[in-house]
Chains A and B, each alone.
Chain A
Amino acid sequence: MQTHKSGFISSIKAFVCDPFRMFGVVSLVLLLLLTIAPAKDYFSEWHGYQRQYLNIIRNRGDAITLRRHFEGGLHQIWIPQLGVVDRCETCHVGLTETSLADVKEQPFRAHPAMPHKLTEFGCVVCHRGQGGATTVNEAHHSEMAGEEPILPARYMESSCGQCHQGPLEGTPKLNRGRAMLSRYGCVSCHSISLPDGTKLEATDNPPPLTHIADKTTREWIYAWLKDPTSYSTSATMPNFALSDADASDISAFLIANSVPQPGDQVALPAQGHGPAADPAAGASLYGESFCASCHAAQNAAGNLVGGDLGPELTNVGTKVKPEWLLAWMRDPQKYDPATPMPQYRWTDAQLKVIAGYVQNKSNPDLLSNVHLQPATRAQIAHGKQLVTEYGCASCHEIRGVPKPDNFGPNLSRIGSKPVVQLVFLPDMEHSLPAYLTQKIREPRSFGSTFRMPRYNFTPSQVEAVTTALLSLTDRSYSLPLNLQVAAVRETKYQPAGQAGQIMTNLNCLSCHRINGHGGDMAPDLSWEGSSVQRPWLDEFLKNPNTLRPALIRRMPKFNLTDAERTTLTDYMMTVYQTSSFQRDEMPLTGYTPEQVEKGRQLFYSKYACQSCHMVNPNEDKGYIGPTLTKVGARLNAAWIFHYLKDPQAMRPGTIEPNQHMSDDDARALTAFLMAQKTGAGQGAK
């Protein structure tokens, strides 16, 4: 053994000492070392994909072009301004080859059409993941601190929201999700501010609870707290999963804490107590007043019909006290100054009919199982403690309970929360989108001590909210200024003077938008004075007939006095004008028969306007757009001309297609339309 070993050592010695042999071996080792780099490349994942790609394109018709575009090796998009070093194209070789549209397997799919250039934004700005990585696993799935996994495609719109702070045509899901953050009051508890410094505000109008005992009973509050959807399937208030005892204590506290408001207990004179019920008259007044534009109610078939600006009324009679309902309908702003509901100016007789009709929408079964014992002082005190703990005052005004600041965690950068900081449930996918989805869908599944309530969202609503949250990233704060696209924020516009008072009282801005403030249910009125003729406006306010027979949401009739109407008309005609043209730059009358005839032909043949509009009520059928039978007595000629030239400039978002009309065509059509003054189809066949 010994000799053997020493023999080995000596042979090594001889070897090392022999410079020639030594040189040979070292160069061999060096040569081997030198081949490692190319060999590593050759056997690397990405190289395999590139070879596979060459195989795929080899037999295609456009192989030569594709082969010429192909460059082997590592590819990289480097955008220092965005901190982007993306090597994704190394494997996603055919990303920009539109002719590969039929190739479905990854990584060879061509990128679908997109609004930005790959070379300007790279990949990870939208898709996340590790752009610098050269293996699939590291690029797509890394969860290490400071690294984020790739974003599933269904949340892709969130990435647009990092730069675009406002609604975009191409991101319906993101827009919906962002609106929901305000609509469902998420931002009442979680503060969310955007990189430009604006803070999202709630738009859900939760009612003040200061006088709640005037409005409803403790039993109703209890049932509502236990499950808002048992009262109304469309309730926006979430479910706090309260125990029976807790719901009982909170309801006791709210009733005990309520102070009466003068007037809420007064019944109508004569015919005793409570509003009279005349179902037929009630239904027709309810219809004429277009209550359904804002309030939904279940119809006989069980379908919810109506708007969602106000609460659902299916079972409202079970909730409200008759005296309160009368007081509310007479003057809603007295009970809740911030309510979007207009003051209708109903006469006492009408009030009786409409309140009776609404009060009859009830379901006594709802509360038949609620039996509450009178509450003790301790229980009421406990109720107050619960109201504080659950942050009820974040949304509702409650006497003696101040609005808490930052009740829930701030979510301004939630979209960049690292996976390592999240606590997952067993069996749950380890990703931020999965975490957010679960948090929204079942907040209490993370533990019964969590206070976040549960909303009754559909899967697509959950996805929309998740998308909106994912858009709130660190990256959106570090963007170069030239890439930040601020949202058009709601202005604080309020109409002024006497007209302003009437408009506030009618809550016109709940439905109409004026100068960047208001709702979107009804037309924007910012340029109404340029658009319509004064006599028409005056008549319309007296008797609002809808222009679009196909609409179910219409302008209600408000019983305005003559003086009120004149004030409103004067104000709108003078103040609400566009600066882009003069109202009287084209005449209202005096067009030649030739012009009218030319316009008629354009209307019926070249532009086929009758597809959507009616001029001759006996012939035309279209009703997507407003009826034009008397348009010559309604609109100004100059407005018609400019609207035809560029509909979206005059009414942003209108679906009327821009037909790229010449001035001559637009002028002739204006002449034809201005001839339609009496509804007899002048000049029409």
Chain B
Amino acid sequence: MQANPWIAGMLAVTVCAGCAHRQGTAPALKAKAAGAAIVVVSGDKQLGFTGALLAQPLVVQVNDDQGNAVPGALVAVTGPRGVAVDPAQVLTDDSGQATIKVMSRGSSGRYEVTATSQDAHGKAFTLAVAEYAAGYQEEVGSEVNGKYCSRCHDPESTTEQVSNYDNLSVKPHSFASGDAYNKFSDADLANIIARGGPAMNRSAQMPPYGWTLNKAEIQAAIAYIRLVSDPPYAAPGVVYAKH
């Protein structure tokens, strides 16, 4: 009974997943300096395909209590299971920064990478950086967003794409604002995207997309909105029957 082959199989799979998440094989580094805080320089909140290297590395900086960069501080980086970080331990460079490559998690969703360093008294301080792993659906959703939605919903302009946000008299929310979107059910989101603002008593400045996008693309857009929302979206709780 104990040696059920399927339990053994699962164990093997788990152990395997563990090896993929290789970490800390390099000899331990020694800190040359100590700081007081870690801050993100760049590379946080990136959308990466599941199991793939993030396009930009994560760059963090160690500061002292005056806010000045500290070169030579030891930063240890860890991720949840299935996320690989390289290097797992690194000393900050001359500008007090450390650059870490992050390999996205294998299943879609938001995850956090943690960077830890120690102050002069050996007390650890940490920084949690959120990243997003996009599965196929979220990836398609992010394409839909880039082509159709972001011009209005994203206030940031780039040289390639100028934002239209400032020109709207009713302001839409950025898809990252969980406070606005987490209130909507999937069905309500699908409704407003397919039939436009007026379908939900809102402004016609939100156009209908139900005759331009197909159902799968609208579902994909919703999956994308759910993925990037901050605070994170929690699917409506499953109703558990009483025993």
Residues of chain A touching chain B, judged by Cβ–Cβ distance below 8 Å, are 43-49, 59-61, 63, 101-102, 104, 112-115, 135-137, 152-154, 156-157, 169-170, 172-173, 303, 305, 458-460, 463, 550, 552, 605-608, 611-612, 621-624, 647-648, 655, 657-660
Contact = CB atoms under 8 A, between A and B. Distances in A.
12 contacts: A43-B4, A44-B6, A45-B6, A48-B6, A60-B239, A102-B235, A170-B220, A172-B140, A621-B166, A623-B167, A657-B211, A658-B212
A623 B168 CA distance: 10
Which of A606, A623, A655, A657 has most chain B Cβ within 10 Å?
A657
A658 B211 contact: yes
A608 B211 contact: no
A153 B50 contact: yes
Contacts of A153: 50-51, 106, 135-136
A684 to B, nearest CB: 15
Given A43-B5, A303-B159, A550-B162, 11 more contacts: A59-B243, A61-B239, A104-B107, A112-B137, A135-B9, A136-B9, A608-B204, A622-B164, A658-B212, A659-B207, A660-B208
Please report whether the interface of chain A is mostly helix, strand, loop or mixed according to DSSP. loop
A154 B217 contact: no
Nearest to A42: B4
A606 B13 contact: no
Nearest to B164: A624
Contact of B50 (A48, A154, A459): A154
Contact of A305 (B136, B159, B235): B159
Nearest to A153: B50
A137 B11 CA distance: 12
B199 interface: no
B194 to A, nearest CB: 10
B209 interface: yes
B51 A657 contact: no
B147 interface: yes
Interface in B188-216: 203-205, 207-212, 214-216
Contacts of B181: none
A175 to B, nearest CB: 10
B204 A60 contact: no
A59 B241 contact: yes
A-B pairs, 5 with minimum CB distance = A48-B6, A61-B239, A621-B167, A658-B211, A608-B204
Contacts of A61: 238-241
B187 interface: no
Interface string B34-57: 000000000000000111111100
B65 interface: no
B152 interface: yes
B120 interface: no
A305 B160 CA distance: 9
Nearest to A305: B159
A427 to B, nearest CB: 10
Contacts of B52: 154, 459-460, 463
Contacts of B166: 621
Contact of B55 (A60, A303, A460, A612): A460
Contacts of A657: 148, 207-209, 211-212
Nearest to B235: A102
B143 interface: yes
Nearest to A50: B6
Interface in B1-50: 4-7, 9, 12-13, 49-50
Contacts of A170: 140, 216-217, 220
A165 B223 CA distance: 27
B174 interface: no
Contacts of B223: 112
Interface centre among A45, A170, A660 (most CB of B within 10 A): A170
A101 B13 CA distance: 23
B112 to A, nearest CB: 16
User: Which of B164, B203, B235, B240: most chain A CB closer than 10 A?
Assistant: B164
Nearest to B243: A59
B151 interface: yes
A624 to B, nearest CB: 5
